[in-house]
């Protein structure tokens, strides 16, 4: 199933010329709040009354990157398990230590992240 359609399509484009410095500033500010530059700039331009997310600490950024990597690992494990279930092959001997390492990483999360 695909992504549901939005009620109002964004079918108009606004091209904006920026200096390298201006572009890098928007890019940095968007990255600091975990947004893509285009979404960040749209929020600034339209000022829809919604407040922009608060600036995140570098720890939050590193946590986000950690979760992205864990998601990739989880995806690979899921594909491997589907293959093993389909073929009936036994579990690899080194799978349990890997899962133990992942559990340790997740256990180190700060309590306020849960």
**pLDDT (mean) for 28-33:** 87
**Considering the domain boundaries, does residue 11 fall inside one?**
no
Same domain, 38 and 72: no
**Considering the domain boundaries, does residue 85 fall inside one?**
yes
Q: How many percent of the chain have pLDDT more than 90?
A: 19
Reply yes or no on whether the pLDDT at 86 is more than 50.
Answer: yes
pLDDT at 34: 83
pLDDT at 114: 47
Number of neighbours of residue 40 by Cβ within 10 angstroms: 20
pLDDT at 20: 94
Mean pLDDT, the chain, integer: 81
Same domain, 62 and 106: yes
- 3: alpha, beta or left, given left = phi > 0 and alpha = psi -120 to 50? beta
Same domain, 94 and 107: yes
Tally of domains within the chain: 2
Same domain, 49 and 62: no
Reply yes or no on whether the pLDDT at 88 is more than 90.
Answer: yes
**Considering the domain boundaries, does residue 100 fall inside one?**
yes
Q: Which domain holds residue 76?
A: 58-113
């Amino acid at each position: 199933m695909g992504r549901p359609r939005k009620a109002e399509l964004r079918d108009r484009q606004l091209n904006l010329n920026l200096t390298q410095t201006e572009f890098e500033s928007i890019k940095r500010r968007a990255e600091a709040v975990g947004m893509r530059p285009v979404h960040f700039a749209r929020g600034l331009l339209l000022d829809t009354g919604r407040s922009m997310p608060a600036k995140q600490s570098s720890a939050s950024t590193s946590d986000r990157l950690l979760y992205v990597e864990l998601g990739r690992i989880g995806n690979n494990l899921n594909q491997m398990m589907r293959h093993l279930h389909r073929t009936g092959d036994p579990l690899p001997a080194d799978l349990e230590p890997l899962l133990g390492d992942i559990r340790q990483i997740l256990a180190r999360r700060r309590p306020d992240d849960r």
